[in-house]
């Protein structure tokens, strides 16, 4: 302590005017010129009506306030934890991460350092006598001050958790949910699945799908089952494979099934605005699906309190239909025009699988023990932990798991992360001259002069040659690209030609089979014709040799019987008719046509 007091006296002797000015500036009070040859005589007092305590400061004390960048930033006699990480091992800063770029972190956390320094500064000016009275009289109402400190610390920690890892996790995850395929054996590999699906779609539908990744999982499988998750790059590929009828019947010679249907991503969704809350939503959905059969679902959106709002989300299975609706910018349903807009999905929150903390991965986790996501208890090995199955959140002590998205802390973290990403992407917004009340900085255009014009180009022969070489390489690259495209088209032409040749060969073989069948039928027909000719000839012989003589005898007998007792014919026309019949029969036997 003596060394500390001596060092404090030395620092105060050398920098007392500077320190006094910096402290007054941070607190927001007017600057006092306190420099003299002996010691500073500044004093100030303030009454807090909430805690009923007088706060006073006197520079006659040997403990002086250092600048806000010093290490002495601990709160005196406060139940809240320090905002800086202590040097001891006993610390519960679960969200602490080692930062290598200290300068950038100081710039990013300038606002928070100033706020903390202001709060710490006021706490350190408390008279030691008053602090002792606060310790002895614990029944005094000091809750408002303590809750304010806790709230500031919680907000500061939450803002520190918005790290590069959480931002990168929200922006670089797979944008489309996977198509899950389940096999009854574990012999199928991800490369076989990816290659066969791509080849099948290319050969059958002449469409190229873009595969981002393909991996296996047995989380929800039985002993001999295997799930393969297929991630796609673009919405067109996802929408194409969303139709299960376009998948091959077998993959790698194995049967498969779809344990679940992939959820439709935001890239295939739209928002309908100003939909009345009193309409029949089932009828509204039915009209949308009749108007656009590609609409899979229509969902009424809700606010954070679970109440219906005037926004309706529609999920489509076609990128072309979605783009057409966006181009129209409106949708007419039941003679009412509704505005259409993009659907922006919530940002994914990075939650550590080891300690359930926010904003870092498992390999970056500073904790040594693991935390159960259900009951929030910490153990060295979770395999030895028997969970009570009573959910308790680590962040808010609520009746839900620590990685639940309905946790208020997770919701606040997501909101802060969304603001950060939107602010980083909004680079085109002009910076207006505004004043920040928290850090007392004012924008001055004179501090940011316009950028000067670019330097004039130096005529250097070597640079000219390098530029010529670069231009030549660029032309070679373009030529190689054209050659590759021509080669690809030629290979496709060869493949199509082989396919058409196989079709023609199959048709020729089919024609040969038909020709052989026709020859057999012709031989059979000739055989039947010869048989019929023989039968006809035999019938002619029977007619000439048997029927005609019998007919002659019958005619003679009828002519004889056609006379009466006097010898006169009973019917004079009988003889003439029979003569006509005999003549016709004779002509028929001779193959003559008669009238």
pLDDT one-digit tens code per residue, 341-384:
988 877 888 899 889 988 888 888 988 888 998 898 888 888 88
Pick the range with the lowest mean pLDDT from 101-115, 117-131, 171-185: 117-131
The overall longest dimension of the chain from CA atoms, in Å, is 194
- % the chain with pLDDT above 70: 65
- Report the length, in residues, of the chain: 595
Pick the range with the lowest mean pLDDT from 167-176, 178-187, 372-381: 167-176
Asked if residues 298 and 284 have their Cβ atoms less than 8 Å apart, the reply is yes
User: What pLDDT sits at residue 247?
Assistant: 94
466 has pLDDT over 60: yes
CA distance 391 to 398: 8
User: What pLDDT sits at residue 442?
Assistant: 58
Tell me which long-range contacts 80-88 makes (C-beta under 8 A, separation of at least 24): 80/146, 80/149, 80/150, 80/153, 81/153, 83/112, 83/116, 83/153, 83/156
Class of the domain covering 174-257:
alpha beta
The 3-state DSSP class for residue 214 equals strand
Strand 179-183 and strand 226-232: the pairing is antiparallel
- % the chain with pLDDT above 90: 33
Pick the range with the lowest mean pLDDT from 197-206, 431-440, 530-539: 431-440
User: What pLDDT sits at residue 449?
Assistant: 54
Average pLDDT, the chain: 73
What would the CATH number be for the domain defined by 266-342?
3.30.70.330
Tell me which long-range contacts 206-214 makes (C-beta under 8 A, separation of at least 24): 207/240, 209/237, 209/240, 209/241, 210/234, 210/237, 211/237, 212/174, 212/176, 213/174, 214/190
- Name the DSSP letter for residue 383: G
36 has pLDDT over 70: no
Between CA 340 and CA 345, with CA 342 as vertex, the angle to 5 degrees is 140
pLDDT one-digit tens code per residue, 219-276:
888 888 999 999 998 899 999 999 999 999 999 889 999 999 999 998 899 999 999 9
- Please compute, for residue 344, the number of CA atoms within 13 A of its CA located in the half-sphere on the CB side: 4
How far, CA to CA in Å, does 239 sit from each of 321, 359, 360? Answer: 11, 32, 33
Backbone angles phi, psi at 213, to 5 degrees: -165, 160
User: What pLDDT sits at residue 537?
Assistant: 83
CA distance 379 to 354: 10
User: What pLDDT sits at residue 544?
Assistant: 73
Higher pLDDT, 142 or 331: 331
CA distance 313 to 298: 6
pLDDT one-digit tens code per residue, 57-68:
444 444 444 444
CA distance 433 to 410: 34
User: What pLDDT sits at residue 425?
Assistant: 62
């Amino acid at each position: 302590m003596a060394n500390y007091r001596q060092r404090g006296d030395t620092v105060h002797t050398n920098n007392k005017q500077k320190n006094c000015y910096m402290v007054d500036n941070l607190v927001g009070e007017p600057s006092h010129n306190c420099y003299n040859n002996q010691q500073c005589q500044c004093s100030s007092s303030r009454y807090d009506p909430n805690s009923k305590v007088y706060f006073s400061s006197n520079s006659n004390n040997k403990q002086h306030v250092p600048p806000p960048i010093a290490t002495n930033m601990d709160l005196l006699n406060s139940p809240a934890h320090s905002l800086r990480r202590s040097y001891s091992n006993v610390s519960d800063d679960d969200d602490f991460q080692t930062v290598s770029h200290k300068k950038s972190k100081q710039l990013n956390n300038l606002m928070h350092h100033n706020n903390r320094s202001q709060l710490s500064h006021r706490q350190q000016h408390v008279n030691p006598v008053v602090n002792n009275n606060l310790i002895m009289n614990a029944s005094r109402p000091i809750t408002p001050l303590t809750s304010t400190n806790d709230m500031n610390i919680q907000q500061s920690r939450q803002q520190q958790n918005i790290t590069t890892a959480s931002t990168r996790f929200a922006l670089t995850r797979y944008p489309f949910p996977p198509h899950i395929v389940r096999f009854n054996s574990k012999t199928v590999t991800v490369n076989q699945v990816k290659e066969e699906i791509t080849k099948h779609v290319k050969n059958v539908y002449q469409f190229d799908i873009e595969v981002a990744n393909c991996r296996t999982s047995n989380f929800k499988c039985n002993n001999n089952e295997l799930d393969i998750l297929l991630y796609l790059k673009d919405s067109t590929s996802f929408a194409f494979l969303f139709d299960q009828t376009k998948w091959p019947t077998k993959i790698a010679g194995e049967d498969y099934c779809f344990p679940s249907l992939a959820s439709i991503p935001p890239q295939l969704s739209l928002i309908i605005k100003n939909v009345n809350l009193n309409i029949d939503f089932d009828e509204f959905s039915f009209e949308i699906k009749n108007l656009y059969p590609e609409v899979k679902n229509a969902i009424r959106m809700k606010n954070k309190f679970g109440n219906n709002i005037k926004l309706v989300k529609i999920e489509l299975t076609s990128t072309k239909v979605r783009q057409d609706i966006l181009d129209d910018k409106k949708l007419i349903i039941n003679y009412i025009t509704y505005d259409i807009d993009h659907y922006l999905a919530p940002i994914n929150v990075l939650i550590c699988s080891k300690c359930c903390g926010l904003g870092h991965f498992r390999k970056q986790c500073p904790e040594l023990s693991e935390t159960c996501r259900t009951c929030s208890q910490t153990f060295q090995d979770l395999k030895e932990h028997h969970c009570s199955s009573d959910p308790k959140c680590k962040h808010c002590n609520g009746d839900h798991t620590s990685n639940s998205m309905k946790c208020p802390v997770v919701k606040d973290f997501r909101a802060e992360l969304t603001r950060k990403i939107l602010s980083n992407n909004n680079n085109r917004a002009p910076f207006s001259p505004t004043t920040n009340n928290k850090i007392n900085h004012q924008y001055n255009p004179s501090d940011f002069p316009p950028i000067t014009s670019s330097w004039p180009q130096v005529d250097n022969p070597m640079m000219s040659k390098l530029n010529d070489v670069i231009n030549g390489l660029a032309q070679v690259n373009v030529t190689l690209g054209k050659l590759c495209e021509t080669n690809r088209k030629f290979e496709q032409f060869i493949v199509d030609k082989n396919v058409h040749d196989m079709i023609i060969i199959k048709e020729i073989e089919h024609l040969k089979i038909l020709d052989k069948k026709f020859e057999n039928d012709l031989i059979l027909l000739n055989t039947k014709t010869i048989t019929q000719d023989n039968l006809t000839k035999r019938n002619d012989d029977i007619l000439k040799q048997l029927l005609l003589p019998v007919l002659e005898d019958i005619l003679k007998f009828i002519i004889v019987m056609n006379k009466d007792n006097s010898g006169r014919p009973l019917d004079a026309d009988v003889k003439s008719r029979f003569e006509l019949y005999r003549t016709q029969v004779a002509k028929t036997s001779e193959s003559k046509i008669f009238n």
